[in-house]
A and B are shown apart, each in its own frame.
Chain A
Amino acid sequence: MIGIKSYGAYIPYYRLSRSEIAKTWGGPALPGEKAVANQDEDSITMAVEAAFDCTRGIDGANIDGLFFASTTSPYKEKQCSTIIATVLDMGKEIRTADFADCLRAGTTALRAALDAVKAGSAKNILVTAADCRLAYPYSMLEQSLGDAAACFLIGDSDVAVEIEDCLSISYEITDVWRTDEDDFVREWEERWVITHGYSQNVEEAASAIMKRNGLSAKDFAKAVIYGPDPRSHAALVRRLGFEENQVQDTLFATIGNTGTPSAPLMLVAALEEAKAGDNILFASYGDGADAFILKVTEQIERIRERRGVKIHLASKALLPSYGKYLSFRKLVQLPPQALRGTGSATIMWRTKNWVLGCHASKCRKCGLITYPIQRVCYGCQAKDDYDEISLSREKGTLFTFSLDNIASGGINPPIIQSVVRFQGGTQFYCMMTDCDPKEVRVDMPVEMTLRRLHEEANFHNYFWKCRPPREGG
């Protein structure tokens, strides 16, 4: 049976209290907070995090595909799944594809992966979904939207969740959109959007798939149904006949509506609590709807070591102000930065193994592991005699650091320069992110995370930073 072999999630470290937004603009505050990507994060880096979470303890050699779903791809033209696959060290003999432009893209990618595995053209496919959508400042939508990512590994053996049926509806409606020139999400009148967009389509798909399988609401342990807001969601699941204890929370109060990864994240949260034998109704929305009937297997117990939703939710820091959020998302014009090194596409291409793949060289003569890759070993001077190994999942400690208040041109200081030493005896010189500068200490534990550095040479430059481990990993 084809299904989900593993799941993973990523929720940024920073949260913005909705009351902080309301305090700035006046007017009512929705309850709770939303997850906010750090200034060095985007949909690619968040998808990478979710993929690392999903593949914890899994041999990557058998994964032969990676899909990336997002409405906020950092590139309009250029594939992002290739970047993610390179970071994950998946090699070239794989299939990659980006799914875009629709909030349902995550489940669309999921269905495409199911079809590929079913057809035998792939064995195991990682499906990532990530979004970092912008709402107009001052709009109520600004309080709703949050940033996050989710990931599933789809395959046909040892599945933790069997996918018993799926059903899709395609429905033309301009309810929520961005044109090719828009930065911010646009919406038509909300009552119509909910009634004839969200509710009508999801209800139709969910009802149809239950009917087709001779099932009703009482046959499911959980209903994991996308919801743009808690009220519309509650009304819909009630109409579908679900009791409150069957309904998976939308995560609206803690993360916000995260777009493409929204329904997948809810499914991760549900699977964290699920037992073997549970039936789950799973549905997402966007220009139509996708519905799935899932059955949890015994294998679910083998993939409990995930940060998932629960641990990522607990590991957080509140942004001190709405202004910080504006600067993170570059929604205000900030003072220009002093000139720094210029990026180069050819250099990036030559160095992608160590820049993106986090490859070190391991000397075949003396065993020394050095980052980045060195042609001449500094330990024994052996020339061109090494194997490449990836350090992306290594844990280390902070050997020394500085808290540089001027390096960023004064924007969101400090830059934390870090010298990291890995347990295997390798040094990594980088910046630290997602931390409280006051808590940075010599010898503290750190782990690596891929981040977006800047846009030198007019493309996105990604590189590794260190951070205090997100709790529980």
Chain B
Amino acid sequence: MAESIKNKVAIVGMGCTKFGELWDKSASDLIVEAAYEAYEDAGIEPKDVQAAWFGTLYEFSGMAGLGLTVPLRLQYKPVTRVENMCATGSDALRNACYAVAAGVYDIVLALGVEKLKDQGISGLGMGAFASTGVSPTITAPGMFAMMATKYFARYGLSPDEGKRMLALIPVRSHHNGALNPKAHYQREITIEQVLAAPIVAWPLGIFDCCGMSDGSAAAIVVRAEDAKKFRPDPVYVKALQMCVGPGEGQISTDYDYTHVEETYRAGLAAYAEAGITDPRKEVSMAEVHDCFSITEATIMEDLQFSPRGRVKEDLEAGTFTLEGDLPVQPDGGLKCFGHPIGASGLRMMYEMYLQLQGKAGPRQIKNPQLGLTHNMGGQPSSCTVSCLIVGL
């Protein structure tokens, strides 16, 4: 009989580099910085790491386990490279946790990294997959903008009303990012700035899109019963859920383009595993995959934080601000902390870890008990979603 992961493993150390356009740093530099910060935080030596999971999307950020072992000179250990599009970081951590829970390792490392800013383009390269060569010329903003168009049409929002609703999201994230010294963007913005910004993919403007950043984040995972040997305030894993859709949204007229089924189902599974019955009340805080403002808006509904079609009310009420009932993106999110693809899931966890330990400085949330991370890879109609819950 399958069992829940709840309280079987704990995170006892984390590291995260500053995110940003780090022209002077390679993927290797970022890996070394994140890993050594995590080692130090956990109070371990590099030789204590028994196995590792290495998350990265692009080949130029590192291939195979060697992408991790070479910069760290990790000595003849089992290392798995994990790739799950933008949800790569969470999946590296998920696999690391299961290996510890299986009892075959005591101390493992999960590390995610991406070095985007060696490509010579702004935004995300779409990769070079051999294909029919006939798929639409897609960009991530173009794909997610289709959700915004449909959301506005379905819920009777004029483009102006819709854009105004979405603008509340980056304004909040920029406020939080300004309180975070490791964030890519640390500057407050106004709704007027968001609305006046150049359009990337209508209806999304530049401030509706997250930062494209270099960065790395890492976690040290141990068995729950060993956790207090490492530190007095370990963070325990309550749920590790993942949902990979069959991609029907691209071909099925059943898909509504105003929600992401994978997010909804990953959330349901995570709440069940963690024993949560009223997520809006029981989840203290969340870091979700706000690659675009519309993505965050619909995630709030898919995770049952807001009723369907009514996220606007919560956005306008300030529910998801640092002072609100359910703070979301306390670190600035993908929007402002930035989005180095393979690192993002672990960066989200890093913020939950700091908040639960009361170490989040000026953006500290009062007395959080449970933190949720939501990490999505792919496009609305076809994606993979990880939903992890941690707590004290």
> CA–CA, A206 to B107, complex, Å?
93
Report, as a range, how many residues of chain B touch the other chain.
35 or more
Q: Are A403 and B202 in contact (CB under 8 A)?
A: yes
Most buried by A among B130, B137, B144, B255: B137
The 8 Å CB contact of A430, one of B136, B143, B381, is B136
Rounded to whole angstroms, the CA-CA distance of A183 and B257 in the bound complex is 46
Please tell me if B246 contacts chain A, counting CB pairs below 8 Å: yes
User: Within the complex, what minimum Cβ distance (angstroms) separates B80 from chain A?
Assistant: 27
| A403 x B201 contact (CB < 8 A) | yes
Task: Specify which chain A residues have a CB less than 8 angstroms from the CB of B127 in the assembled complex.
Answer: 339, 341
Q: Does B103 contact A (CB under 8 A)?
A: no
Known contacts A399-B257, A401-B149; is-contact A407 B201 (Cβ 8 Å): yes
Residue A74 interfacial (CB < 8 Å): no
**Complex Cα gap A351–B199 (Å):** 35
Q: B123 near A: Cβ within 8 Å?
A: yes
Bound-state CA distance A427–B201 (Å) is 22
A405 to B209, CA, bound (A): 13
Q: Nearest chain B CB to A367's CB is how many angstroms away?
A: 13
Stretch at the interface among A27-35, A274-282, A455-463: A455-463
Q: Is the CB–CB distance between B251 and A371 below 8 Å?
A: yes
Q: What chain B residues lie within 8 Å of A415 (beta carbons)?
A: 136-137, 139, 142
Complex: how many Å from CA A351 to CA B250? Answer: 18
Considering only residues 199-241 of chain B, those with a C-beta below 8 Å from chain A are 199-204
Evaluate contact between B149 and A402: CB separation under 8 angstroms. Answer: yes
- The stretch of A114-122, A195-203, A418-426 in contact with B is A418-426
Assess whether A341 is in contact with B131, with CB atoms less than 8 Å apart. yes
B133, A406: Cβ atoms closer than 8 Å: no
Q: Which of A89-97, A326-334, A342-350 contacts B (4 or more CB under 8 A)?
A: A342-350
A374 interface contact, C-beta 8 A: yes
Which of B134, B142, B145 is A355 in contact with, Cβ under 8 Å? Answer: B134
Interchain CB contact under 8 A, B138 and A427: no
A370 touches B131 (CB 8 A): no
Chain A residue numbers with a CB within 8 Å of B251 are 370-372, 374, 378, 427, 429
0/1 string, A431-473, CB within 8 A of B gives 1: 1000001000011000000000110110001110000000000
Q: Which residues of A contact B142 (CB under 8 A)?
A: 402, 404, 406-407, 415, 417
Nearest chain B CB to A438's CB is how many angstroms away? 10
Contact in complex: B147, A348 (CB < 8 Å): no
Within the complex, what minimum Cβ distance (angstroms) separates B199 from chain A?
Answer: 6
B253 at the A interface (CB under 8 A): yes
Chain A residues contacting B255 (CB-CB under 8 Å) are 427
In angstroms, Cα B133 to Cα A463, docked, is: 9
B55-79 CB mask vs A (1 if < 8 Å, else 0) is: 0000000000000000000000000
Residue from B123, B128, B143 within 8 A of A342 (CB atoms): B128
B130→A400 contact, CB < 8 A? no
Is A429 touching B134 in the complex (CB atoms < 8 A)? no
A427 & B126 in contact (Cβ 8 Å cutoff): no
Q: Which residues of B contact A404 (CB under 8 A)?
A: 137-139, 141-142, 145, 200-202
Partner of A378, one of B130, B146, B246: B246
Find out whether the CB atom of A378 lies under 8 angstroms from the CB atom of B252. yes
- The smallest beta-carbon distance between B228 and chain A, in angstroms, is 49
A425 (CB) vs chain B CBs: closest residue = B253
Contact of B201 with A406 in the complex, beta carbons under 8 Å: yes
User: Smallest Cβ distance from B144 to chain A, in angstroms?
Assistant: 8
B141 near A406 with CB under 8 A, answer yes
The reply on A338 being an interface residue by CB < 8 A is yes
Partner of B149, one of A341, A414, A442: A442
Any B CB within 8 A of the CB of A408? yes
B367 within 8 A of A: no
Identity of the chain B residue whose Cβ is nearest the Cβ of A360 in the assembled complex = B251
Which of B128, B137, B150 is the one whose CB lies under 8 Å from A400? Answer: B150
Is B248 engaged at the interface, CB distance under 8 Å to the other chain? yes
Least distance between B285 CB and chain A CB atoms (Å): 31
A145 CA / B381 CA spacing, docked (Å): 44
Contacts A406-B141, A407-B201, A408-B137 given: A401-B146 contact, CB under 8 Å? yes
Question: Are B129's CB and A342's CB within 8 A?
Answer: yes
A454 touches B201 (CB 8 A): no
Given contacts A371-B251, A427-B252, contact A403 B133 (CB under 8 A): no
Q: Are B253 and A442 in contact (CB under 8 A)?
A: no
Residues of A within 8 A of B145 (CB): 402-404, 417
A155 to B137, CA, bound (A): 41
- The reply to whether B126 and A339 contact each other, CB–CB distance below 8 Å, is yes
Q: List 21 A-B contacts (CB under 8 A).
A: A341-B126, A341-B128, A342-B131, A343-B133, A344-B131, A400-B146, A402-B146, A403-B145, A405-B199, A407-B137, A407-B138, A408-B137, A414-B201, A415-B137, A417-B136, A417-B145, A417-B201, A419-B146, A419-B257, A442-B150, A443-B153
Interface residues of B (CB under 8 A from A): 121, 123, 125-139, 141-150, 153, 198-204, 246, 248, 250-253, 255, 257, 381
Give the 4 A-B CB pairs with smallest separation, nearest first: A343-B133, A402-B145, A404-B142, A463-B134
